[in-house]
């Protein structure tokens, strides 16, 4: 994990106040969700999201196959909260 990247994305994330801002951050900053290649955070987030939405395995597989920007807004907001605000992706 590159420390400069963490600070960069953390500062960008701090500017995202509205849901629209958070969705835009998600769409434009995929790298921010994968700063630590050793982390299982994205995988864990997907499990938590699937559980929160009562998704079946088939639907989860469909999500994983989607292009980044085509993922549902509800997932983008959940991922922002889980990985960026509360997770280790942008920890300082």
Domain ranges of the chain: 3-85
Residue 7: which pLDDT band, with cuts at 50, 70 and 90?
confident
Share of the chain above pLDDT 70, in %: 91
pTM for the whole thing?
0.89
Continuous H helices in the chain: 3-14, 19-28, 41-52, 57-65, 73-79
Locate 31 and state its tokens: 């790298």
Residue 91: which pLDDT band, with cuts at 50, 70 and 90?
low
Q: Dihedral, CA atoms, 11, 13, 16, 19, nearest 10 degrees?
A: 180
pLDDT of residue 22: 98
Do the beta carbons of residue 45 and residue 79 sit within 8 Å?
yes
Phi and psi at 2, nearest 5°, equal -95, 120
SS3 of 86, please?
coil
Q: What is the pLDDT of residues 35-47, one digit of tens each?
A: 888 889 999 999 9
């Amino acid at each position: 994990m590159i420390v400069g990247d963490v600070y960069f994305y953390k500062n960008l994330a701090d500017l995202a106040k509205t849901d629209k801002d958070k969705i835009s951050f998600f769409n434009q900053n995929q790298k921010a969700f994968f700063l630590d290649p050793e982390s299982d955070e994205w995988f864990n987030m997907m499990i938590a999201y699937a559980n929160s939405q009562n998704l079946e395995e088939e639907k989860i597989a469909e999500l994983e196959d989607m292009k980044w920007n085509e993922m549902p807004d509800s997932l983008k907001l959940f991922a922002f909260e889980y990985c960026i605000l509360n997770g280790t992706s942008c920890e300082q």
